[in-house]
């Protein structure tokens, strides 16, 4: 994707406050527009909750049809094709319910009924389709080849059958698999619910800032970007004080989750749950740990960048010592960039427009609030974080955010999740079967992370002066250098699983110790701020999507490689990149990367090229810093 070349009216977008200035009034989402930025469930899902409940009968009828084939799935080419097509239909129908129910919970975590219904529905789907894996994994390559010759439509499902065979060593008997599917919500889901309940029941501190009360959890962007140092410090310490208030509950949930998932993984003949998660990604735990080691070996590279940023902040802020809460300080002559939701949508559309008409059209549909596919208005009882989700074969992908405050990080998060949403739409346009709409998520995350880099780069290249250029280059590097942050967090989660299994992690203090030790290897801040030892609480994925962060590490390297390829050959890269996005996951990731982009995950140049991009951009930043400092 060529970097966006159209000029951006940055001055119209920069409406925040600089250090020492009064906080100007800014509405990221105008109150009169707020209702438009909530999900339209009736338009995109079901008219009412009762309508959704009644619609489950259609799904159950499809499952009943599929179950009639139990025991004879591979008896003939016609029966095999029928079973695979019915499974496609069941997955597509189920996902509409599953997403709807989770979104009901995400936008109101007091709606426990929807959360429970979602868990039951997932368990029912898995239980009633468990027999399919049992029968598909017994189809040998020769048999499938004969069947496909008689029924060519089967060829589209070749990788489905191949994937089932791959799981054969880790698949239990049918009755055991059905029992595990039924018990899944009670074994490994309740911990995420306890985590959310603990967040909801926390009496979070408020920080006074220019006559306003800032909620340290719901309005994190406001205190982090406040021009008042006291506010930033109180916000940082207040956030971690809130975490600390239920520290024992968080530790109980995390440690129990690790034990439960490790035990279930061992039943399936994996060493532990990380091994199972890595196998699903077509990786090994050793590969993952080697990647963490390579990042730790580059720890001084990250510390050098952190010291560069800290020294810049010390100069422009006039501080004797810089703390982690000072890193958002900006020069006196710059107003902090803030974007209304409409401005953010325009920036993202402009930055990604060179991807072509189909991509731009799907992006515009998502970002248009009239379509009811966005929900980002702050409020009580909302799931933390941001995510996108889509349904196989459907043009109804969505974007959810805990809170949109109009800071650059909010714009970046929207661009990131839009990458996922548009990916769903491109696959749907290409009629990708439901079985191939999900795969190793470091692919999907790499698409989303490239969006983040391109938005930051677009703003950097279209900035009107050096102060703005410097600010947006800092944001670009903040995204690009996050490979160290997510690598640290992924390594921490891996260490928790290892040490729980070894009997060395039993208490909150043990988890703190791990976070301190691992953090200090690549960051200058973990030794300075004891609060950061509670990083195992702050990463909600540990509780709701265990072992997910490893995807971000691989995706970071891939996105930086994409960025490098884009700069070298825009036209050729875009054509191949979009072909990869449209294709879906009908082959192992190594084959897809090689086929479409000529890349290998195990190529040492992948990391080397990423660090080359980072080094070049750090040098650009150093040159901008050398031009002068605007301090107090």
Structure tokens at 145: 């080849």
Share of the chain above pLDDT 70, in %: 95
DSSP H or E run through 209 = strand 206-209
Report yes or no: 222 and 153 within 8 Å, Cβ to Cβ.
no
CATH class of 47-188: mainly alpha
Report yes or no: 523 and 488 within 8 Å, Cβ to Cβ.
yes
Residue spans of the domains in the chain: they are 47-188, 193-329+482-549, 334-480+569-601
Each residue of 326-336: pLDDT tens digit? 999 999 889 99
| Residue whose structure tokens are 């290998």 | 600
> Would the pLDDT of 342 be above 50?
yes
Find, among 68, 187, 189, 219, the residue nearest to 129 by Cα. Answer: 68
At residue 22, the pLDDT reads: 39
pLDDT, mean over the chain: 92
Q: State how far the Cα of 239 lies from the Cα of 538, in Å rounded to an integer.
A: 9
At residue 186, the pLDDT reads: 86
| Residue whose structure tokens are 């189920």 | 94
Over the Cα atoms of the chain, what is R_g? Answer: 25
Sorted by sequence, the CB contacts under 8 Å of residue 46 that are 6+ apart come out as: 52, 55, 100
Structure tokens at 618: 């750090």
Q: Which long-range contacts (CB under 8 A, 24 or more apart) does 596-599 make?
A: 597/562, 597/565, 597/573, 599/558, 599/561
Sheet with 386-389, side-by-side order of all strands: 374-375, 398-401, 386-389
Report yes or no: 418 and 383 within 8 Å, Cβ to Cβ.
no
Averaged pLDDT for residues 52-60: 97
At residue 100, the pLDDT reads: 96
Angle (CA) 235-415-369 rounded to 5° is 95
Beta bridge partners of 398: 389
Each residue of 68-93: pLDDT tens digit? 999 999 999 999 999 999 999 999 99
Please state which of the ranges 8-12, 202-206, 613-617 shows the lowest mean pLDDT: 8-12
Structure tokens at 250: 């968080």
Report yes or no: 402 and 385 within 8 Å, Cβ to Cβ.
yes
| Alpha-carbon distances of 239 from 209, 277, 508, rounded to whole Å | 16, 31, 17
Please state which of the ranges 286-300, 389-403, 422-436 shows the lowest mean pLDDT: 389-403
In degrees rounded to 5, what are phi and psi of residue 585?
-115, 70
Beta bridge partners of 33: none
> Would the pLDDT of 7 be above 50?
no
Residue 506 banded pLDDT, cuts 50, 70, 90 = very high
């Amino acid at each position: 994707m060529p970097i966006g070349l159209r000029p951006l009216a940055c001055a119209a977008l920069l409406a925040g406050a600089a250090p020492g200035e009064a906080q100007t009034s800014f509405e990221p989402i105008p109150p009169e527009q707020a209702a438009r930025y909530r999900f339209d469930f009736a338009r995109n899902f079901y008219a009412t909750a009762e309508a959704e409940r009644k619609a489950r009968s259609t799904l159950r009828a499809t499952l009943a049809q599929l179950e009639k084939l139990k025991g004879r799935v591979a008896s003939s080419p016609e029966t095999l094709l029928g079973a695979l097509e019915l499974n496609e239909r069941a997955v597509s129908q189920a996902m509409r319910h599953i997403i709807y129910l989770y979104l009901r919970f995400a936008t109101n975590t007091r709606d426990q009924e929807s959360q429970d219904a979602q868990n039951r529905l997932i368990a029912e789907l898995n239980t009633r389709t468990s027999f399919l894996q049992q029968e598909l994994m017994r189809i040998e390559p020769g048999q499938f080849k004969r069947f496909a010759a008689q029924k060519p439509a089967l060829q589209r499902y070749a990788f489905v059958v191949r994937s089932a065979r791959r799981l054969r060593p880790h698949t239990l008997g049918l009755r055991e698999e059905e029992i595990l599917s039924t018990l899944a919500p009670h074994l490994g889901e309740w911990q995420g619910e306890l985590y959310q309940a603990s967040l909801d029941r926390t009496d979070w501190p408020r920080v006074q800032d220019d006559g306003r009360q800032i909620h340290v959890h719901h309005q994190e962007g406001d205190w982090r970007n406040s021009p008042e140092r006291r506010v930033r410090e109180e916000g940082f310490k207040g956030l971690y004080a809130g975490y600390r208030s239920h520290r024992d509950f968080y530790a109980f949930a995390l440690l129990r989750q690790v034990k439960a998932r490790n035990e279930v993984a061992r039943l399936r003949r994996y060493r532990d749950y990380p091994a199972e998660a890595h196998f699903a990604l077509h990786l090994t735990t050793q590969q993952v740990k080697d990647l963490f080691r390579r990042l730790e070996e580059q720890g001084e590279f990250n510390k050098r960048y952190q010291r560069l940023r800290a020294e810049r902040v010390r100069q422009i802020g006039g501080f004797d010592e810089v703390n982690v809460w000072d890193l958002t300080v900006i020069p006196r002559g710059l107003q902090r960039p803030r974007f209304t939701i409409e401005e953010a949508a325009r920036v993202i559309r402009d930055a990604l427009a060179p991807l072509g008409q189909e991509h731009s059209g799907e992006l515009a549909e998502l970002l248009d609030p009239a379509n009811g596919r966005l929900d980002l208005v702050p409020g009580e009882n909302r799931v933390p974080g941001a995510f996108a989700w889509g349904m196989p074969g459907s043009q109804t992908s969505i974007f959810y955010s805990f809170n949109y405050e109009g800071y650059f990080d909010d714009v970046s998060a929207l661009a990131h999740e839009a990458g996922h949403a548009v990916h769903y739409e491109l696959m749907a346009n290409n009629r990708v079967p439901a079985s191939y709409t999900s795969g190793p998520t470091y692919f999907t995350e790499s698409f989303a992370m490239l969006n983040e880099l391109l938005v930051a780069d677009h703003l950097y290249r279209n900035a009107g002066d050096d102060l703005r250029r410097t600010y947006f280059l800092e944001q670009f590097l903040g995204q690009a250098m996050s490979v160290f942050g997510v690598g640290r967090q992924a390594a921490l989660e891996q260490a928790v699983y290892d040490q729980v299994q070894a009997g060395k992690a039993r208490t909150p203090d043990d988890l703190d110790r791990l976070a301190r030790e691992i953090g200090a290897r690549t960051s200058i801040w973990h030794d300075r701020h004891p609060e950061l030892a509670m990083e195992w609480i702050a990463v909600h994925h540990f509780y709701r999507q265990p072992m997910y962060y490893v995807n971000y590490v691989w995706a970071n390297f891939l996105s930086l490689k994409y960025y490098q390829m884009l700069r070298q050959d825009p036209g050729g890269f875009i054509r191949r990149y979009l072909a990869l996005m449209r294709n879906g996951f009908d082959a192992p990731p190594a084959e897809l990367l090689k086929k479409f982009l000529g890349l290998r995950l195990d190529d040492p140049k992948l990391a080397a090229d990423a660090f080359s991009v980072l080094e070049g951009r750090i040098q650009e930043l150093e040159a901008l810093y050398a031009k002068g400092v605007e301090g107090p």
